[in-house]
Copies of this chain bind each other. A is one copy, B any other.
């Protein structure tokens, strides 16, 4: 993202990754699992997680597993403001409600999509916040368009590190990614539900999606609507 400093601090880098991993699921995780998932040594992981626990950012259960701690509320408040994306995007996302589809705003982390907003018809607008955990990027329109920004090598390196090594799903993903690069939008089908997504920002920092039973004949129209919202959000973000 930026030039490496003279002395990049590996403890900070991996500590933040652990923090992020703890944040995205509710279930408490064992140190061994955390270490394996992030490719870290166990003792080191244990100490970093305990440091996070000391800060209140992690919480140790009786069975010595770790989950998000109470200071996560503090970090949420701070990063919510620091990001400013939800605050500025919400008025525009709300306007998409009338489409009758799921509306989502998400970000890519490693090989996962996290949702800033995930709204289904019938819910009040405010209920879309922090409602949904994560989705594997390869099974998400947003994931596909965000992954598509990477070079094939960078992509391979991301995917190699995660269980996504499965060959058949990898090939499917690459097909979707190549199409996304050509069309400019991410598309993923799950059963007869279609997810359409556009990236926000250059370089992209988030993505925007509509999901539901969208017929092929309506795709261009829905993408055009997403484009308007994309432009509107990018405009307020560039101020």
A219 CB → nearest B CB, Å: 26
Q: Is A106 an interface residue (CB 8 A)?
A: yes
How many copies of the polypeptide does the oligomer hold? 2
Q: A55 at the A/B interface (Cβ < 8 Å)?
A: yes
Q: With contacts A47-B5, A81-B133 known, is A20 near B75, CB below 8 A?
A: yes
**Does A190 count as interface, using CB distance less than 8 angstroms?**
no
A70 touches B129 (CB 8 A): no
Interface size on A, residues (CB 8 A): 76
Contact of A47 among B6, B84, B116 (CB under 8 A): B6
In angstroms, how far is the closest chain B Cβ from the Cβ of A91? 8
User: Among residues 17 to 58 in chain A, which have CB atoms less than 8 Å away from a CB atom of chain B?
Assistant: 19-20, 22-24, 26, 46-48, 50-57
List residues of chain B with CB within 8 A of the CB of A20.
Answer: 74-75, 78
Min CB distance, A20 to chain B, in Å? 5
Quick one: which of B1, B50, B55 contacts A16, CB cutoff 8 A?
B55
A130 to B91 Cα, complex, angstroms: 13
CA separation between A47 and B6, bound complex, in Å? 7
A80 touches B81 (CB 8 A): no
Per the bound structure, the CA–CA distance linking A108 and B50 in Å amounts to 22
A236 at interface, CB cutoff 8 A? no
Q: Is A167 an interface residue (CB 8 A)?
A: no
Given known A-B contacts A1-B69, A50-B8, A86 and B76 have beta carbons under 8 A apart: yes
Q: Determine whether the beta carbon of A205 is less than 8 Å from that of B70.
A: yes
Contact status of A116 and B1, CB under 8 A, knowing A8-B50, A126-B126, A127-B90: no
Tell me the A residues contacting B by CB distance below 8 Å: 1-9, 11-13, 15-16, 19-20, 22-24, 26, 46-48, 50-57, 59-60, 68-87, 90-91, 94, 106-109, 114-116, 124-127, 129-133, 201, 203, 205-206
Write 12 A-B pairs (CB below 8 A) sorted by A numbering: A2-B53, A2-B59, A8-B47, A12-B51, A16-B16, A24-B78, A73-B205, A74-B109, A77-B107, A77-B114, A87-B129, A125-B125
Q: Closest 6 interchain pairs by CB?
A: A23-B82, A5-B50, A12-B15, A1-B56, A68-B82, A80-B130
